[in-house]
């Protein structure tokens, strides 16, 4: 077999050993970042970086200017209110109405230090609210960090790969898990990280109905909000709206991040938007544990979230508020601004398909998976770990689907760091990969 590798196997092995990475095939995102960076530094040869889902667009200027104004005002000399600044809470309530078409009061829209803090606090509140409901259900594949959070908290979880349970099949699968009665929360992202599948309205209706039946809270991660580019979702106060479980249950927390839709990742700003019904619900178990009112929303803010981050950076709250307001007013079109990710995905997928790869998660219930921030790749009969490792030799970094709760063999690719000058490089390297792996192994 020919050998057209960009990086010799011995060099990769040396760096893996130097970095004390125990298992390259099951490496975390952070470990893959370290390996790719070390290889670039050692050789001067650039990687095609498809590993970390970090925004690849300039940050929104409206946010920057609003944050500067907040800094200049002197307001940052004071601690931020635990519940968030009023301007952001009002803007969040308006944004949810404008772009999802549902009503959540401003008091129930809670700023958090990124989506990670939103999920961390939500896991605590959801698993402590009712005695005997202390496990989390992941509809996978999903964001690995959320399971790492549960490890820190000592919370048990169950999961299943949705690949074989789309549409009506999802109902029986969920029933088989939730009938145990101990599921406190259901977690998924929509659009999905890593597969970019999108749960459809019929599936969300199933999830919402069972969440109500079994009194579980749905934690809907909307990190890639309105980024299903197969239809235009960016006109405020006009359908079509993105699908959401909030239409089918009152047991939900929507997590909305500024990182991707406004490319404001470095400032760590998100929202936990809690249904008013859940926000106002009284739980004796919470009151007993924290010695507070036991009202879900109040406990979430004052007794849990504040203990984690002590509030969110004041200036960034004003930045996020300004961007949300501008979107509602039609002064910025964050959907059109981020459409470049779909263009990149389409070009990258074409190169990979031309070189013998296939898309692992390729279908939703009624249509092909769209192009966007992520996509999934398989090659012949290679396992996900094997493919990750082999691609590193050809200067392409990614993560194995196995680390995301997927039962499928393949890797996750991110489009955010792709640049025009890298497409011919990617094609050259993948053509070399195919020459070296003509039998799919």
374-412 pLDDT, tens digit per residue, is 999 999 999 999 999 999 999 999 999 999 999 999 999
CATH of the domain at 415: 3.90.1150.100
Compute the average pLDDT of residues 317-324: 98
Integer Cα distance of 334 and 39 in angstroms: 35
Q: Residue 404 is encoded by which pair of tokens?
A: 């995301």
pLDDT of 367 above 90: yes
What whole-number distance in Å separates Cα of residue 214 and Cα of residue 363?
Answer: 29
Q: Give the pLDDT confidence score for residue 2 in this predicted structure.
A: 61
Residue 138, strand partner residues: 159, 187
More confident residue, 322 or 24: 322
Q: Please tell me whether residues 343 and 213 are part of one structural domain.
A: no
79 and 40, same domain (yes or no): no
Average pLDDT of the chain? 96
Distance CA 43, CA 25 (A): 22
- Asked if residue 3 is part of any domain, the answer here is no
User: Which CATH number fits the domain that encloses residue 277?
Assistant: 3.40.640.10
Of 53, 50, 60, 52, whose CA–CA distance to 419 is shortest? 50
pLDDT digit string, tens, across residues 191-205: 999 999 999 999 999
**Length of the chain (residues):** 441
> Average pLDDT for residues 229-257, to the nearest whole number?
97
Q: Is pLDDT of 441 > 80?
A: no
Separation between Cα atoms, residue 416 and residue 375, nearest integer Å: 11
CA distances from 79 to 63, 229, 258, 306, 311 (A): 21, 39, 22, 12, 8
Q: Please say whether the beta carbons of 229 and 221 come within 8 A.
A: no
| Whether residue 326 has pLDDT greater than 80 | yes
Domain assignment present for residue 158? The answer is: yes
Question: For 406-423, what is each residue's pLDDT tens digit?
Answer: 999 999 999 999 999 999
* CA distances from residue 164 to 161, 326, 404 in whole angstroms, order as listed: 7, 40, 16
In a domain? residue 215: yes
pLDDT of res. 205? 98
Model pLDDT, residue 28? 86
Choice among 1-15, 136-150, 220-234, 273-287 with the minimum mean pLDDT: 1-15
To the nearest 10°, report the CA torsion of 233, 238, 242, 245. 170
> How many domains are there within the chain?
2
Q: Which domain holds residue 378?
A: 9-46+339-436
- The CA distance from 245 to 24, in Å, is 37
Residue 51, CA distances (Å) to 257, 261, 335, 396 in order:
20, 19, 23, 9
pLDDT of 72 reads 97
Q: What is the mean pLDDT of residues 272-293?
A: 98
Q: Which long-range contacts (CB under 8 A, 24 or more apart) does 29-32 make?
A: 29/144, 29/399, 32/388, 32/392, 32/397, 32/398, 32/399
Q: Is the pLDDT of residue 13 over 60?
A: yes
Tokens 């009665």, residue located:
181
Same domain, 408 and 306: no
In a domain, 55, yes or no: no
Preceding omega of 240 cis (within 30 degrees of 0)? yes
Q: Which DSSP state fits 368? A: B
Rounded to whole angstroms, the Cα distance separating 426 from 412 reads 16
352 and 318 in one domain? no
Task: Identify which of 183, 79, 82 has the alpha carbon closest to the alpha carbon of residue 139.
Answer: 183
């Amino acid at each position: 077999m020919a050998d057209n590798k960009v990086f010799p196997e011995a060099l990769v092995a040396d760096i893996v050993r130097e970095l004390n990475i125990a298992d390259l095939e099951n490496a975390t995102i952070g470990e893959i970042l370290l390996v790719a960076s070390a290889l670039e530094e050692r050789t001067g040869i650039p990687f095609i970086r498809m590993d970390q889902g970090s925004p690849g667009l300039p940050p929104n200027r409206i946010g920057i200017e609003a944050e500067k104004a907040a800094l200049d005002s002197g307001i940052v000399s004071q601690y931020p209110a635990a519940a968030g600044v009023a301007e952001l809470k009002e803007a969040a309530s308006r944004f949810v109405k404008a772009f999802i078409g549902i009503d959540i009061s401003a008091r129930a829209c809670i700023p958090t230090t990124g989506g990670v803090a939103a999920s961390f606090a939500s896991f605590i509140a959801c698993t402590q609210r009712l005695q005997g409901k202390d496990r989390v259900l992941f509809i996978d594949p999903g964001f690995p960090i959320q399971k790492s959070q549960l490890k820190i908290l000592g919370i048990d979880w169950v999961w299943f790969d949705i690949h074989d349970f789309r549409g009506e099949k999802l109902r029986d699968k969920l029933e088989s898990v939730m009938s145990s009665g101990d599921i406190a929360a259901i977690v998924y992202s929509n659009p999905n990280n890593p597969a970019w599948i999108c749960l459809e309205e019929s599936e969300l209706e199933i999830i919402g109905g069972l969440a109500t039946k079994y009194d579980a809270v749905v934690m809907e991660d909307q990190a890639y909000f309105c980024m299903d580019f197969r239809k235009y979702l960016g006109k405020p106060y006009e359908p079509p709206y993105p699908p959401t479980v909030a239409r089918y249950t009152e047991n939900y927390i929507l997590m909305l991040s500024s990182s991707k839709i406004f490319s404001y990742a470095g400032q760590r700003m998100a929202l936990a938007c809690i249904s008013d019904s859940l926000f106002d619900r009284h739980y004796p178990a919470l009151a007993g544990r924290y010695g507070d009112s036991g009202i879900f929303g109040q406990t979430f803010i004052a007794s849990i979230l504040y203990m984690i981050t002590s509030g969110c950076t004041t200036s960034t709250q004003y930045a996020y508020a300004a961007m949300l307001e501008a979107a509602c007013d039609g002064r910025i079109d964050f959907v059109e601004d981020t459409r470049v990710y779909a263009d990149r995905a389409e070009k990258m997928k074409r190169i990979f398909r031309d070189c013998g790869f296939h898309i692992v998660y390729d279908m939703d219930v009624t249509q092909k998976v769209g192009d966007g921030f992520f996509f999934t790749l398989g090659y012949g009969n290679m396992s996900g770990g094997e493919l990750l490792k082999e691609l590193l030799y050809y200067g392409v970094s990614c993560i194995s689907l196995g680390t995301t709760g997927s039962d499928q063999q393949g890797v996750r690719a991110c489009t955010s760091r792709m640049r025009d000058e890298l497409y011919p490089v990617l094609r050259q390297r993948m053509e070399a990969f195919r020459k070296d792996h003509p039998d799919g192994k």
